[in-house]
Structure 1
Amino acid sequence: MAAREEMRLLSEALGVFSVLQSVKLDSDENIAAAVKFCDEKGAESVDDIVQNGFVDDFVSALRLKSIPGRKLKAALQPLDSLASQLSRRGERPASSRPQLSARPIEPKLLLREGAPVTTEQANDLQQSLHAHLGSRSWDEWWPQVCISYATGTRPGVDARGAGPGMLQAAAIMQALHGAGIPCASGLHVPPGSNWKDFLIKIDSRFSRCEVLIVLLSSAFFRSHPCLLEVHKATQAKRMKIIPLRCEEPLPNKDEQWLDVGMQDARLLDEVQSQLGSINALPARGLFFDDEKYLKELVAQITKEVSRGTTPNVKAGARHKT
């Protein structure tokens, strides 16, 4: 079991697990073969496989039948279709795009089919979000709004650990910050800290969170951290959950969080029941198709929470009931 888990972690670090999972080829045998191929070729990520022309060799190494092999090959080659889309739409090359930094994120970068997200952009963006804490430390900061999102790294397109999901979450946080509403996500967790430290910002004795914004995407419904974040919100005595439709089509109930075992069946059911009963914003289409939806979201949240900076929490304070 330990060896199996280690192999999966390696495949996730390389970026091949998400590719295999997207075409339902994430068996232990395929994962092991994929990791072995990367090791033999010296590939540090799935990007290396695509950019160095090893897609056919990679697919062959997994010894798949014809149709599964074609599906995997298609999943590994989004760059050609992306390049043609950008050409038709007159997008500027990555080198001429403005840096994200603290400036507003360009709407076109927020789309699922948007331009690649680079390591430099992702790091600059995360640093700008850390500035939202001001002089406070992460341990002292208890925001009124939290965001649950999945990075959604597109294999062969985005840098490792980067993707449209983080840009979408950051755009919302920037808008709320500008409206004087503290808002946090996993992007605020400091280097060297456990990502689960974010969970207590959603609900705990000291939490001041009143709203959880959920960015619905196919990657979200594969993310175990997202599952835990939403479940944390369902346990709060007072919490408004606002789902935003960021991608279509979305997985149906039987296709969500497929890696969850029977030991977490109740947790999964509670999250799916809660999310399934809430209308997403917008009613039709996608949230980032029109800037007006972001304005509507900020207006809605302003009504839900007290404006201004949340004061530091005194020892013994509890989540409001």
Structure 2
Amino acid sequence: MNTTNKVSTPILSKKEQTQINDITQKITQHSNDLRARYKLLGYQNVIGASVMAFSVAGMVTTGTLYVKGLIPGWLCILINALLTSLIHELEHDLIHRLYFRKQPFAHNLMMLLCWITRPGMPSPWLRRELHFHHHKESGTDTDVEAWITTSGSPWGAKRFLKLVDGFIFGIVNALCAPTWREKIRLTIKVLRLNAPMGLLYWGCWYVFLGYHFYTWACSIMGVAYQPSSITALLMSVINGAVVIIIAPNIIRQFCLFFISSNIHYYGDVMPRNALQQTQVMNHWWLWPFQLFCFNFGSTHCIHHFVVKDPFYLRQMTAAFAHKVLAEAGVRFNDFGTYKRANRYTQTQTDT
């Protein structure tokens, strides 16, 4: 007889499972009612493709207007940051195969466009595996996607760096590994995750920062600097890339990671318990961040209960879904998570 002690995985109570099923059923029914009321919602592939076409065309248009000097750089950056937030929502839906499920060419073309317009992120095909695992084991130690967005890390310089520049954070984290073997392994992993587009994306960004810091330092010290014709041409291309695609994505990614990392609980979440995985964050002061991640904090919790609804339908069901979630005890605007490093368990000082 085997007397070895085994660590048992916590099991959802009947009440909790009933609550989860009830939330899913009510929100699903509401979204189905909306589909029946608005026939246009039945054309999901067309809507997804149209949003993608609009977003990509918008980025090309603003980029052209900026290059021709017809709009200022800051306006191009803000518009494209908004457009890439739409593209992120499309990618998230595509990862769940919500568009062109039976038409691989159209599906993969949309995935490719998502990657080209957001090159600082790993390939969406690679992210699919991580994201599916995130849904299965959200908030647990194996939830790599949550860790990447800083969930579970205490607030400080390290977490802020991770939010602002994931590439530098990854390299610093690798170099701080205890052994040379680990340093090399983690560095290769960071490079592989970012290859090839991320390396070009971050490389342009660092050249941009370095060049303009150098010219600024020269002007401060009174040193004349005259770039060569090749350098001037290269920097004109890099400057354009920063305004059109890099800076917009840095703004979007920071806002998304800031919101996402705080709505997800991490570290003491019961496995498969959707009631503990996320909260709703829709306080008014979050709107500057929500603006550049398409209201993610207000609607992502819905997605953990109902996966099959595309992003625009989550926006339409939000008011109803929030009532259902609140009745079931899902948390709203739990800002104590900042102090608890995303732990679900509240302390006396939080209440």
TM normalised by structure 2 equals 0.28
Greater share of strand: 1
Q: Which has the larger radius of gyration?
A: 2
TM normalised by structure 1 equals 0.30
